[in-house]
Structure 1
Amino acid sequence: MTDFTPGLSDYPWHVELTTRLQDNDENGHINNVAFYSFFDTGVSRFLKERCPHASRDIVAYVVSSQCQYISPASYPESIFVGLRVVKVGRSSVTYGLSVYAGDAKRRVAHGQFVHVYVERQTDHAVPVPADIKDALESIREEF
């Protein structure tokens, strides 16, 4: 076990997102469901940027996700999502993510997100395509 708490700069890839007033809940904090959207947006932007010509016949389905909340964030704070790849399997990839908020980029949540690659026509798992696997390996890191 480690006492290391990663900062945004410890992640090999990150993206800045804009919060919206509707992201806040009745307590004035960003609602928990928004964090899953931040995870999804971070992963999707990475894949679109690094794998723009990925096959439309093979798609990635989210099969698991989890989030641990550390401290609240609120609109209109900027959100920063740090992304790394924890593991690349035969047909799956596990991402490690952290969400940071505000000018100080304080860590407000972290979690994991798992994709399984499937053939769109059959919904059967297939190996991670080589070009995508190469992109994923470029941000693979262990803390």
Structure 2
Amino acid sequence: MTELPRRDPESGLPFAEVTRRIEWSDTDASGHHHNSVVWRFVESCEAQLFRELGYLESYFNGAPRVHQTVDYENKLYFGQNTTTKVGLTKVGNSSLSFWFELWGEEQGDRPRRRAASGRFVTVHVAQGTETAIPWPDDLRQALLGTATSD
């Protein structure tokens, strides 16, 4: 049975949350996280969202990014726990718009702080093609929370 994703109380759209620790390989010579960590953690959380919806493989087989933006706000350090959240802001005909936040959890004298936030957009492209097409109705219904159970 698939876990049901959490839904934003205002929009009704789903979001997911993943916790991870900053590992030594996630840091750079300056002693804090490397900028690429943000996207790896966001993609992991994005996968969790579609896993909870029951559409992991079908989504990732045809959902290239067409836009992404990130604001780096605070540093993350080796051993620090993090929380990444990814959710939808819009379900379009052939596109999906997402928000994300990556938080560094309290560690010693460091308070909980948002390390990064941003947005990204994916489109539905069938394998072997290069043109965006509409998302399948069942996926749209699952995202919008209008799916019916048998």
**Is the counterpart of residue 73 in structure 1 residue 80 in structure 2?**
no
Bigger Rg, which one:
2
CA RMSD in angstroms, aligned pairs only? 2.4
Rounded Cα–Cα distance in structure 2 between residues aligned with 1:91 and 1:22: 36
Query: CA 1:106–1:137 in structure 2 vs 1: closer, same or farther (change >3 Å)?
Result: farther
Query: Is the deviation greater in 92-101 or in 58-67?
Result: 58-67
Partner Cα distance (1:55, 1:25) in 2: 35
Instruction: Report the Cα offset of residue 17 of structure 1.
Output: 2.1
Q: Quick one: structure 1 residues 28 and 133, their matched pair in 2 at CA, closer, same or farther if it must change by over 3 Å?
A: same
Letter in 1 for 2:71: Q
Pick aligned residue for 2:129 from 106, 122, 129: 122
Runs of 5+ in structure 1 lacking a partner?
A: 1-9, 139-143
1:81-118 Cα offsets, whole Å, 9 max, x none, are 11221111111101000001124542111001211111
- Quote the residue 1:107 is aligned against: 114
Off by >3 Å, runs of 4+ in structure 1: 52-58
Give yes or no for contact 1:62–1:113 (8 Å, CA) kept in 2. Answer: yes
Cα 1:31–1:59 change in 2 (3 A) is same
Calculate the TM-score normalised by the size of structure 2.
Answer: 0.75
* Aligned residue in 2 for 1:45: 48
Distance 1:76 1:132 in 2: 37
TM-score, with structure 1 as normaliser: 0.78
Change (3 A) 1:50 1:41: same
Q: Which amino acid aligns with 2:99?
A: G
**Counterpart residue number, 1:26:** 29
Aligned AA (1:124):
T
Structure 2, unaligned runs of 5 or more = 1-9, 146-150
Counterpart position of 2:86: 83
Residue type of the alignment partner of 1:85: L
Which of 1 and 2 has higher RCO (CA within 8 Å, sep 6+)? 1
The letter for the 2-side match of 1:134 is Q
Count of aligned pairs: 129
> Which whole-Å CA distance do the structure 2 matches of 1:53 and 1:41 have between them?
11
Counterpart-to-counterpart distance in 2, 1:44 and 1:57: 8
Q: Percent identity?
A: 25
Q: CA deviation at 1:55?
A: 3.5
CA gap 1:56/1:94 in 2 versus in 1, 3 angstroms: closer
